[in-house]
Each structure stands twice: as structure tokens, then as C-alpha cells.
């Protein structure tokens, strides 16, 4: 009886020790997981936010940007001089290299241009009145006549107000609106510049209109409702012959495709200070004096998608697959791509496109216990990216895994706990 009690007491003691050891091991495991998560979260918060062929914080994204717009600003224009007249494109930082798109079919030279929803619009020069309105395919150079404007004077420039959806045109002395279906011009009012000759106009992304005057060599702000022009300041250039102006509406910078005679005839691209009118030269057009009119800079006034939502289980078992639903919307309704990583440091790719508001469901399982973080980011077709969204998922530790640690401990110290080894069949 005494022997049985002693054996029972010994076994109970061993079991108690085993439980304590398992508790210690479990505690160490928890601390290790917590430290790892804390370190990863710290790295996550400190890594730079990069998009494209780079890291999006610690989620590495592999993508070929050939599939998207924006490899560099490309501008389009009409080479009005020297002969022959040509439709061309050039880099905004490299105006010296003019690339031929095609040959125009208009009866006279193209004077002004503006960009509207991916389309190149132009007005044809006429010394008297009734300028034609054209659309030009910026890839092929094909020209489509919209219609005769019926303007009371020849049109020199075009501008588009994205906030109202209104196209404007300028003659030498007056502002007009343009019907984008028929091309018909409607008089708004005079600029009111003494001996002025407005040669180009442009609107920024918020609807502010500006104009360059050939006779006064100055920059003006223009009231779209009345046509009244207010002097901003001198351009510091001696303008002559064909000119135009355009906004990079994505960054608010105004550019002039100017032809000047102040330092000998030369055509060059300039930026223009909207507060003072002062210009800064970027570089000459081509290798010889060149006039570029019908000048446009493509743009997209686009907002990024909202941060994605991630719906699905926040706990589960190792090795089992679970469904996770991702969704977001784009303010403009653009198609959306997703980059999804199932844990810190994983490499992923953009997937899609999907419709704005369309739910996508993906399955995933984890092979390791602990807390895992799903990371998701959305991007629209114009490369505008959302904020990052995360969801933590816990794969609990199981009894079998804890026993494995104790078994390894017993294997390392074979002479310890002989009764426990006997009970475990070792």
C-alpha cells in the first residue's frame, strides 16, 4: 500500500513537472511570436512607401510598368515651321527630340490645342474667321473634322475647364465657348487688352484660365464668364509667330511652346510662373528654329481608390484553407488592381483588373502557427494607389506541437525523468 502511494505520488509529481515545463515552453513560444510580430510591425511602419517595381512598405510588389501609363510626360504638338508641317510628340524634359506621328490634312496650320479625356483637340488657323475644330489621334495622326466654328475671328488657342466640362477658344481679341459636338463657337466677351493679340489660352485643373498675349508679351488671367483679362506680368520673352500654352494639370505647372526673336529666332519650351509671368527655359525644339503649336500635355485628374476592405476569419487552424474577401471602390469608377501579401515580407504581384466595387475572394492557408498579417493595397489604371489595409489572423498553438518541444527536451537529456519517459513510451 505504501509502495503504491509512493509510486502514485511520484507519477503525480512528474506530471506536475511536465505541465510546468510545457507552460514554460508555451510561454517562450508566445514571447517569441510576440517579439517577431512587434519587430515586423516596427519595420512595417518605418519602411518607405513605394509603388510600381518597388516595395509597398514591406510588401514587395513585382510589376511591369509597361502595362500602365506614366513612364514619363509625353507632349504633343503641330510643327508649324520649318516645312513640312508635321504632327509630333516629344518628352517634356527633352523638347529637342521631335518624333513624327504623321502628316496633317487640314487646309491651314493648326493653331491651338487642348487635351480632353484622352483626346487631342485643335483649332485650325484662319486669318479672318470661321476656324475649323479638329480631333487628332495622338497615336496614328489621323485627323477628324468636328466642324466649322463660325467664329467672328480666327481662333488661336483652345482650353478645357475640367470643373465645368466647357471648352473655350480665343481669337485675337475675344473669348469663345466651343460646342464639342458641332464645333460651333459662341462669343463670351472681349479680353479688353489695348492693342492686344491673344495667341494662346489654357486652364489649370481647377478651372483657372490664363492667356499669353503676343503684342504685350505678357501673361494674363482670364475670367471665363466674361472674357475679361487681368495682367499678371511680363513673360520676359519677345514672342513672334506661332505660339501655344498648356498645363500639366497633374502638378499645376504651366508650359509655353514659345517662338521668340529676342535672341535670334528660336522655338523652345518654357515653364511660366503664374504669379509673376516670368518664364524659365527648358530647352529648344529640334535642331533648328521650330514653331510648335497645337500644344497639349496629357493628364488625368484622378483620385486613388479607397483602402481595401478585408473580410474573413481572424483565427483558424494550421493547414486549413479559408476564404478572404477583398473589395474597394474608385472615385472615378476606374478598374482596380490589387496587391495582396499573406504575411510580412512576402513577394506578391498586382492582380486584376477588377471593376470598382467588385468583390474578389481568395483562399489561403498557413503552414505555421502564430499571428499572421494579410496586407492589401489597391491601384487604379492610372497608377494611383490606395492606403494599405491589414487584417491579423491567428493560428493557435496546439497540444501536439507543445509536446514535441518536451519530447525533444527528453531526447537531449535521456537520463532525466525516467518515469515520464516510461509513461510516454520512450
Per-domain residue ranges of the chain? 2-67+305-412, 74-296
Q: What pLDDT is stored for residue 40 in this prediction?
A: 33
CA-closest candidate to residue 352, choices 69, 70, 118, 67: 67
Tell me the CB-side half-sphere exposure of residue 265, using CA atoms within 13 A.
12
3 state SS of 222: strand
> Across-strand partners of 150?
none
* 3-state DSSP of 300-363: CCCCCCCCCEEECCCECCCCCCEEEEEECCCCCCCCEEEEEECCCCCEEEEEEEECCCCCEEEE
First to last CA, the chain: 28
Phi and psi, residue 396, nearest 5°: -60, 150
Strand intervals (E) in 191-265: 198-203, 209-213, 218-222, 229-234, 244-248, 253-260
Q: What pLDDT is stored for residue 96 in this prediction?
A: 96
Q: What pLDDT is stored for residue 34 in this prediction?
A: 32
Say if residues 132 and 169 touch (Cβ distance below 8 Å). Answer: no
3 state SS of 43: helix
Per residue of the chain (426 residues), what is the pLDDT tens digit?
Answer: 444 434 444 434 444 444 444 433 333 333 232 333 332 333 233 222 323 333 333 344 443 333 333 346 899 999 999 999 999 999 999 999 999 999 999 999 999 999 999 999 999 999 999 999 999 999 999 999 999 999 999 999 999 999 999 999 999 999 999 999 999 999 999 999 999 999 999 999 999 999 999 999 999 999 999 999 999 999 999 999 999 999 999 889 999 999 998 767 899 999 999 999 999 999 999 999 999 999 999 998 888 999 999 999 999 999 999 999 999 999 989 999 999 999 988 878 899 999 999 999 999 999 999 999 999 999 998 788 999 999 999 998 654 444 555 556 556 666 555 555 555 555
Q: What pLDDT is stored for residue 4 in this prediction?
A: 43
Cell of 117: 479625356
> Across-strand partners of 210?
202, 221
Phi and psi, residue 6, nearest 5°: -65, -45
Gap between the Cα atoms of 426 and 410, Å rounded: 9
Which pTM value belongs to this model? 0.63
Q: What pLDDT is stored for residue 300 in this prediction?
A: 81
Say if residues 310 and 260 touch (Cβ distance below 8 Å). Answer: no
Gap between the Cα atoms of 366 and 321, Å rounded: 8
Say if residues 153 and 172 touch (Cβ distance below 8 Å). Answer: yes
Domain 2-67+305-412 coded CATH 3.40.50.980: no
Q: What is the CA radius of gyration of the chain?
A: 34
Q: Give 221-225 contacts, CB < 8 A, sequence gap 24+.
A: 222/175, 222/191, 224/161, 224/164, 224/166, 224/168, 224/175, 224/188, 225/188
Q: What pLDDT is stored for residue 396 in this prediction?
A: 83
Cell of 241: 509667330
CA-closest candidate to residue 253, choices 293, 282, 289, 222: 282
Looking at 3.30.43.10, 1.10.10.10, 2.120.10.30, 3.30.1050.10, the CATH number of the domain 74-296 comes to 2.120.10.30
List of residues 6+ apart from 378 with CB closer than 8 A: 304, 305, 306, 307, 308, 328, 330, 336, 337, 338, 339, 385, 386
Q: What pLDDT is stored for residue 33 in this prediction?
A: 29
Encode 155-190: b = buried (16+ Cβ within 10 Å), e = exposed. bbbbbbbbeeebbbbbbbbbbbbbebeebbbeebee
Amino acid at each position: 500500500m505504501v509502495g503504491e502511494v509512493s509510486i502514485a505520488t511520484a507519477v503525480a509529481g512528474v506530471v506536475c513537472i511536465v505541465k510546468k515545463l510545457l507552460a514554460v515552453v508555451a510561454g517562450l513560444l508566445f514571447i517569441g511570436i510576440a517579439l517577431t510580430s512587434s519587430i515586423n510591425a516596427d519595420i512595417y511602419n518605418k519602411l518607405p512607401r513605394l509603388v510600381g517595381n518597388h516595395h509597398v512598405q514591406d510588401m514587395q510588389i513585382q510589376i511591369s510598368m509597361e502595362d500602365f501609363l506614366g513612364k514619363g510626360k509625353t507632349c504633343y504638338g503641330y510643327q508649324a515651321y520649318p516645312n513640312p508641317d508635321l504632327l509630333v510628340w516629344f518628352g517634356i524634359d527633352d523638347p529637342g527630340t521631335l518624333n513624327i506621328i504623321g502628316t496633317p490634312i487640314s487646309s491651314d496650320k493648326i493653331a491651338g490645342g487642348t487635351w480632353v479625356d484622352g483626346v487631342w483637340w485643335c483649332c485650325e488657323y484662319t486669318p479672318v474667321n470661321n476656324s475649323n475644330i479638329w480631333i487628332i489621334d495622338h497615336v496614328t495622326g489621323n485627323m477628324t473634322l468636328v466642324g466649322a466654328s463660325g467664329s467672328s475671328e480666327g481662333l488661336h488657342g483652345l482650353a478645357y475647364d475640367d470643373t465645368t466640362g466647357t471648352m473655350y477658344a480665343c481669337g485675337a481679341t475675344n473669348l469663345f465657348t466651343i460646342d464639342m459636338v458641332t464645333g460651333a463657337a459662341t462669343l463670351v466677351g472681349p479680353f479688353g487688352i489695348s492693342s492686344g493679340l491673344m495667341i494662346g489660352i489654357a486652364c489649370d485643373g481647377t478651372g483657372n484660365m490664363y492667356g499669353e498675349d503676343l503684342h504685350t508679351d505678357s501673361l494674363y488671367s482670364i475670367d471665363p464668364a466674361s472674357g475679361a483679362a487681368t495682367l499678371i506680368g511680363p513673360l520676359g520673352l519677345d514672342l513672334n509667330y506661332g505660339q501655344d500654352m498648356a498645363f500639366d494639370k497633374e502638378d499645376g505647372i504651366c508650359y509655353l511652346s514659345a517662338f521668340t526673336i529676342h535672341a535670334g529666332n528660336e522655338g523652345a519650351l518654357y515653364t511660366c510662373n503664374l504669379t509673376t509671368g516670368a518664364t524659365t527655359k527648358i530647352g529648344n525644339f529640334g535642331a533648328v528654329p521650330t514653331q510648335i503649336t497645337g500644344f497639349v500635355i496629357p493628364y488625368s485628374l484622378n483620385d486613388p481608390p479607397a483602402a481595401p476592405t478585408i473580410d474573413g476569419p481572424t483565427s483558424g487552424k494550421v493547414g486549413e484553407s479559408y476564404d478572404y474577401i477583398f473589395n474597394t471602390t474608385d472615385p472615378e469608377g476606374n478598374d482596380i488592381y490589387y496587391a495582396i501579401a499573406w504575411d510580412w515580407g512576402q513577394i506578391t504581384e498586382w492582380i486584376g483588373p477588377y471593376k470598382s466595387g467588385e468583390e474578389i475572394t481568395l483562399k489561403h492557408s498557413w503552414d505555421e502557427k502564430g499571428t499572421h498579417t494579410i496586407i492589401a493595397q489597391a491601384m487604379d489604371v492610372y497608377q494611383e494607389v490606395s492606403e494599405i489595409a491589414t487584417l491579423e489572423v491567428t493560428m493557435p498553438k496546439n497540444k501536439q506541437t507543445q509536446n514535441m518541444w518536451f519530447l525533444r527536451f527528453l531526447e537531449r537529456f535521456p537520463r532525466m525523468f525516467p518515469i515520464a519517459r516510461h509513461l510516454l513510451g520512450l
